[in-house]
Amino acid sequence: RYCMNQSLEGSGMTSRRTRLRMLERLRTQGIRNEALLEVMLNTPRHLFVETGFAERAYEDTALPIGQGQTISQPYAVARMTDLLLEHGKPENVLEVGTGCGYQTAVLASLVKKVNTVERILPLQQRAKDLLWSLKFRNIRFKHCDGGWGWPEYGPYDGILVSAAPTEIPDALLKQLAKGGVMIIPVGIGREQTLQRIVHESDGFTVENIESATFVPLLARLVQASGQRVTVLRLAPRCRTVPD
Ligand code: SAH
């Protein structure tokens, strides 16, 4: 299980002082949203990483969270959230790729409702338990292929994708409300571009933000740890043309 023996407040390398250093770094990296910085100061990132990595939780690096996945580096979480919030204030957000739930926690502290999907069930369950124990009550979880979104609770005025498809899945564009914004890394292998897509009245605008490195968006579901992966379906592909 998670390092729940680690305290919420943290000490030493997980203390407030270490967290303040992370904040300073984020500021020099161009993050200006004070509400977001405050949330990142108060979110116990050391509880989200694998036991043994807590001491490194506030470094600007990706760290293992089990199942061959990584927690996104603080800068990536900050930048994506910043871009999402810059565009009005989304209330009903879809997150694709829950992972350890750290980005979910940051989002849920800033918006009304977060709907989050993950393809690896054990990761999702762990994130769900941890976020519940941290008193979050505005998050819905689903084990599914995020390439299809989560139509039931859409349309969303914000969509944040933490894994990179080679093209933007059509289903996600369909679930983006008019006026809504999607932040998504797109590309093959390590060659990805972080994009911001806005659903305007006459179609979608796509803005290239910067280069990014995320794990690929895979259309395979994992039910349990060590279990063979089953290919259920291929991720939908689409062109980014006006609707
Ligand atoms: N924000 C997360 C990022 C984890 S990495 C964190 O900080 O922990 C990206 C996550 O996306 C991984 O957990 C991976 O399993 C998940 N993922 C990849 N493809 C997916 C898909 N098609 N549907 C849902 N989740 C997916």
CA distances from 118 to 23, 95, 121, 240 (A): 28, 9, 7, 24
pLDDT (0 to 100) of residue 88: 81
Active site residue 133: no
pLDDT (0 to 100) of residue 8: 75
Mutate to test the pocket of ligand 1, among 162, 170, 214 (most ligand atoms within 8 A of CB): 162
Q: What is the residue-level pLDDT of the chain in tens, covering all 243 positions?
A: 344 445 777 777 778 889 999 999 999 999 999 999 999 999 999 999 988 899 999 999 999 998 889 999 999 999 999 999 998 889 999 999 999 999 999 999 999 999 999 999 999 999 999 999 999 999 999 999 999 999 999 999 999 999 999 999 999 999 999 999 999 999 988 889 999 999 999 899 999 999 999 999 998 888 876 554 444 434 443 333 333
| Residue tagged 């998050």 (tokens) | 139
Q: How far is the CA of 99 from the centre of ligand 1 (A)?
A: 5
What contacts 152, CB < 8 A, 6 or more positions away? none
| C-beta separation of 60 from 78 below 8 A | no
Nearest to 114 by CA among 136, 130, 83, 133: 136
pLDDT (0 to 100) of residue 224: 73
Helices vs. strands in the chain: H and E counts, helices first:
6, 11
List of E strands, the chain: 63-66, 69-71, 92-96, 113-118, 139-143, 156-161, 176-188, 191-200, 203-212, 220-221, 230-231
CA distances from 33 to 58, 93, 99, 182 (A): 19, 18, 24, 18
Quick: pLDDT tens for 108-165.
999 999 999 999 999 999 999 999 999 999 999 999 999 999 999 999 999 999 999 9
Q: How far is the CA of 97 from the centre of ligand 1 (A)?
A: 3
